Structure formats: structure tokens, C-alpha cells
Amino acid sequence: MRTRIVIALAAVGLSGLMLTTGCSFEEAICGDGEYPAIAVGGQGGSACFPDGKEPTAPYVRYPEGKVPQHVDDEWDVYWRTHGIDENGTIIDR
């Protein structure tokens, strides 16, 4: 009986903490102080670069407004079937 009460209180506390801190279980594409970049060409692939630094070849920045932020978000899913060519044009993979 005591164990159930402790588990229930822990669950309530965790829920409250998540609500007050804005915490989520979404996995970020990059860590704090980094941004994602996509590899040029139809092969796909991405890497994270420090904020304030430009990506190195063969990576380029994602087009504005189409940057994935979390694993499985709209743009993460989109870029699984699309890429960017050497002219910066979005292509199907």
C-alpha cells in the first residue's frame, strides 16, 4: 500500500515539474548552443555546428523556416525524403 502511495506522489510531482518548467520528452536534434545543418546532395545526413559558426563542407544551413528542432518533428520527417543540391534547391531523395 505504501509503495503505491509513493509511486502516485512521485508521478504527480513529476507531472507538476514538467508543467511548471516546460520540460518535454522530445529529443532535440542538436544540443544547447548548436544548430543543425544538412549535407549537400541526395544522400542526406545532417550534423550539428556551434552557434555563430558556419557549417563546413559538405554541410549547409537548412532553409529558413524548415529547420528540424526535435526528432520526428515536421521538418525532421520531411528531410528524410528530401535533400538540398549544390545550387541550394530542395530535391527529392
Residue carrying C-alpha cell 544538412? 38
| Model confidence pTM above 0.75 | no
pLDDT at 11: 53
Burial of 60 (0-12, 13-18, 19+ CB in 10 A): middle
SS3 call for 68: coil
What's the rounded Cα separation, in Å, for the pair 25 and 70? Answer: 10
pLDDT at 36: 98
pLDDT digits (tens, 9 = 90+) for 3-55: 555 454 455 554 444 444 455 689 999 999 999 999 999 777 999 999 999 99
